[in-house]
Amino acid sequence: MRLSKITTRTGDDGTTGLADGSHLPKDDPRISAIGSVDELNSHLGLLLSETLPEAIRKTLLDVQHDLFDLGGALAVPGASFDEMKLARLDAAIVHFNTELPPLKEFILPGGTRAAAQCHVARCTARRAERDYACLARENLAPLLCMQYLNRLSDLLFILCRVINRAEGQAETLWSHS
């Protein structure tokens, strides 16, 4: 499907159209999940505007494509999501976590601008996962997508650490007051 006209006015009545032609209220849980995934993808786009190691850039670009597919799985009731995407994410987690020292304390979000933006994306991934969970619980969306979002937030946390480390930025450890 190609959009030649962006302003259609079809959402002016408080509904959003899905790819199968059906319409849902804009506050429907499916639409909320689609919006959270879209917001997450936008945060990754912002992160990609920063200077990043090439391996991280490629991984994040792959994730952006996956998130577009995940949004498509939400927009087409009954659609599937490729298990290989989750396997690729798991492999990236192992790859990027290998060089990191173990954590002994919680770390505060921040560090370099890119790492801080990655933390924002991580939090958005967690929200997208929560929004998606109500659909998965009712068997209204593939469980695999929720697993992908869960793993993605883990990967983004790891990437925050890798980005800071690559720039020589020390992690700020949480201190209990």
- Quote the CA–CA distance of 158 and 162 in Å, as a whole number: 6
Instruction: Please tell me whether the overall predicted TM-score, pTM, comes out greater than 0.85 for this model.
Output: yes
- 6 in Cβ contact with 15 (< 8 Å): no
Residue identified by tokens 């994410």 is 89
What's the pLDDT band for 6 if we cut at 50, 70, 90?
low
Kindly list the structural domains of the chain, giving each domain's residue range(s) and its CATH number in brackets, ordered by start.
24-98+111-166 (1.20.1200.10)
**∠ CA 30-35-41 to the nearest 5 degrees?**
130
Lowest mean pLDDT among 6-10, 74-78, 142-146, 161-165: 6-10
User: Residue 107 — φ and ψ, nearest 5°?
Assistant: -110, 150
- Stretch 168-177: mean pLDDT: 87
Lowest mean pLDDT among 73-77, 83-87, 116-120, 128-132: 73-77
Which of 15-24, 53-62, 98-107 is the most confident on average?
53-62
pLDDT for 128 beyond 90? yes
What's the pLDDT band for 11 if we cut at 50, 70, 90?
low
